Structure 1
Amino acid sequence: MVNGLRIGIMAVVLGLFSAVLIPLQLLALRFDWRLRRRLPRTWHKVALYCLGIRVHIHGSLDPRRPLMIAANHASWKDILVLGSLADVVFIAKTEVASWPIFGTLARLQKTIFVVREEKRRTGDQVNEIAGRMADGEIVVLFPEGTTSDGNRVLSVKSSLFGAAAAALPKDQENAVVHVQPVAIAYTRIQGMPMGRYHRPIAGWPGDVGMVSHLMGVLRAGALDVDVTFGDTVDFRQGDNRKTLATHVESRLRDMLLAHLRGRHKS
């Protein structure tokens, strides 16, 4: 009864807050105001509060630009977490645009949707990513290409770093794109270490419906997530994408496991 009341109150709070911010964001998008980059961050913070997700930050976001964040991906919650920490833009597969609620929110944040199966459109998509980075926007890439169970890092796809290469100005010698690995680890529930029983709340398996998983998160009441900003890799003309992918995968795996195993040093 109490849990149901709490969920209802949080839903009303988030709904009212969204009713205020969404029209303002639509105006910001229509007239391309800089405000369009900041409003989603505010919304994500409120959404995390309503869901009971507490974020603990380790390290810091690299202040240099152009900057690409390469993060492990376990769930739709990762969007809220990263979106609450910086004014970022996400790269997502085009199917996300049609998802209920989340598709609308993604479009409001001006997410870059990519169609990986259509090679003829790859050039335009990469150019858009490069253009957004050149304009100072922080682009978030989930280089695993799909969600994991939250317990591990899947193989990183080097092809997805093509945007980093495209963002390098062709007419500038020694041009660089900064790629920062960021690990997201869901570590505690109700203040206690998250065991195997609760691990499904961290990840979002493909066979679990969005609404069902969302209700599970709400019923959990309080989740703690540790976000670790790793050392940035400088990517230059002539550098190998596979080498970059291997390094990013190794750093993500080390940072994630350090938190899941309780070995991280603050």
Structure 2
Amino acid sequence: MIRVALIALAFFALTLLLLPFQLIGLAFDLRLQRSIPHLYHRILCALIGVRIREVGVRSTASPALILSNHVSWLDISVVSALSPVVFVAKSEVAGWPLLGWLAKLQRTVFINRQARHQTGAATSEIAGRLLGGDAVVLFAEGTSSDGNRVLPFRSALVGAVHHALGNTTQHTSITVQPMSLAYIGFGGVPMGRALRERVAWYGDADLMPHLMRVLASGAVDVTVSWGEAVAYDRRADRKAIAREAEKSVRRMTAAALRAAPPAMPAASEQPLPEPA
């Protein structure tokens, strides 16, 4: 519990320290609004003890839509720690205490998956982020899984690619890149199927007990794998895009879960990132 309390104190101190800079970035539409969340989550991962191994390279092409599987609330910090991104989240997240507020500060796009008539507005907003230069991360399964498998990808929001191309004359294609998240170690122990639910947050699991358990673990090892980035034009079919990305994410996730956890330094030995 002492470890959890110390992490909580550091979290609030970090949030209060960087909050004014993020508000300034949002108010004046500065690049700061992208770099602050990136720095924030890098430090959070170091505090929690999240150790990230990357396989492959993220494309630098723009506009870029990243299609990923979804395992845990930790996914947000893991992906944000690697590069500045914007997420697409269900509308309920906006109302969560503290976490919803943080998501808004990171310029998250909120969607109501139960109201199909709102899909068009959501895809238009995603398109706006893409054309504004943001890399947009879409958890294409539509929900989180147990971390041992990848659920079918939904294609409805992939239509943002077509919306983006329809609203600009500057881009003839948008790059779509698959990304896999695989949690392979927990508390310094290689994670098998039975242990993976310790990190995976899915179903009806309560957030706070799960969060406390993860914070008390001491270390979480995760492999982030990048698939082949493909440029799609307006002729591309959204269902085909989702299908190909799903195949790639399934393959990368299976490979990461089969592989032995790499030797990594202890969380305390990892250097903290330099301020932006």
Give the TM-score normalised by structure 2.
0.90
Matching residue of 1:156? 153
Matching residue of 1:46? 43
What secondary structure sits across from 1:19 in the alignment?
A: helix
Matching residue of 2:208? 211
> What is the aligned length?
262
Matching residue of 1:67? 64
Matching residue of 1:186? 183
Shifted more, 172-181 versus 140-149: the winner is: 172-181
Residue 31 to residue 167, structure 1, CA distance change in 2 (3 Å): same
Asked if 1:110 corresponds to 2:104, the answer is no
Residue 132 to residue 201, structure 1, CA distance change in 2 (3 Å): same
The answer on whether the counterparts of 1:190 and 1:222 sit within 8 Å (CA) in structure 2 is: yes
The answer on whether the counterparts of 1:25 and 1:36 sit within 8 Å (CA) in structure 2 is: yes
The answer on whether the counterparts of 1:258 and 1:264 sit within 8 Å (CA) in structure 2 is: no
The answer on whether the counterparts of 2:183 and 2:222 sit within 8 Å (CA) in structure 1 is: yes
Deviation string 1:76-96 (CA, Å, 9 cap, x unpaired) is 111111011111000111111
Matching residue of 1:143? 140
Report the CA distance between 1:214 and its aligned residue. Answer: 0.3
Shifted more, 77-86 versus 44-53: the winner is: 44-53
Matching residue of 1:199? 196
Residue 241 of structure 2 aligns to which amino acid in structure 1? L
The answer on whether the counterparts of 2:123 and 2:157 sit within 8 Å (CA) in structure 1 is: no
Residue 237 to residue 9, structure 1, CA distance change in 2 (3 Å): same
Q: What is the percent sequence identity of the aligned residues? A: 41
Residue 236 of structure 2 aligns to which amino acid in structure 1? D
Residue 30 of structure 1 aligns to which amino acid in structure 2? A
Report the CA distance between 1:172 and its aligned residue. Answer: 4.3
Matching residue of 2:273? none
Report the CA distance between 1:202 and its aligned residue. Answer: 2.5
Segments of structure 2 that go 5 or more residues without pairing to the other structure are 263-276
Deviation string 1:167-212 (CA, Å, 9 cap, x unpaired) is 1146649811100000000001233310233211221022111101
CA distance in 1, matches of 2:184, 2:73: 16
Residue 208 of structure 1 aligns to which amino acid in structure 2? A
CA distance in 2, matches of 1:117, 1:7: 36
Aligned residue among 220, 223, 227 for 1:223: 220
Shifted more, 72-81 versus 125-134: the winner is: 125-134
CA distance in 1, matches of 2:46, 2:30: 27
Runs of 4+ in 1 over 6 A off after TM superposition: none
> Cα RMSD (Å) of the superposition?
1.9
Asked if 1:90 corresponds to 2:74, the answer is no
Asked if 1:130 corresponds to 2:94, the answer is no
Report the CA distance between 1:69 and its aligned residue. Answer: 0.6
The answer on whether the counterparts of 1:115 and 1:121 sit within 8 Å (CA) in structure 2 is: yes
Residue 171 to residue 96, structure 1, CA distance change in 2 (3 Å): closer
The answer on whether the counterparts of 2:184 and 2:261 sit within 8 Å (CA) in structure 1 is: no
Asked if 1:55 corresponds to 2:52, the answer is yes
CA distance in 2, matches of 1:216, 1:206: 17
The answer on whether the counterparts of 1:169 and 1:175 sit within 8 Å (CA) in structure 2 is: no
The answer on whether the counterparts of 2:119 and 2:156 sit within 8 Å (CA) in structure 1 is: no
Residue 46 to residue 158, structure 1, CA distance change in 2 (3 Å): same
| Superposed counterparts of 1:168-183, under 5 Å | 168-169=165-166, 172=169, 175-183=172-180
Aligned residue among 254, 258, 262 for 1:261: 258
CA distance in 1, matches of 2:182, 2:24: 35
CA distance in 1, matches of 2:10, 2:197: 26
Matching residue of 1:12? 9
Residue 177 to residue 40, structure 1, CA distance change in 2 (3 Å): same
Give the TM-score normalised by structure 1.
0.93
CA distance in 1, matches of 2:53, 2:39: 17
Segments of structure 1 that go 5 or more residues without pairing to the other structure are none
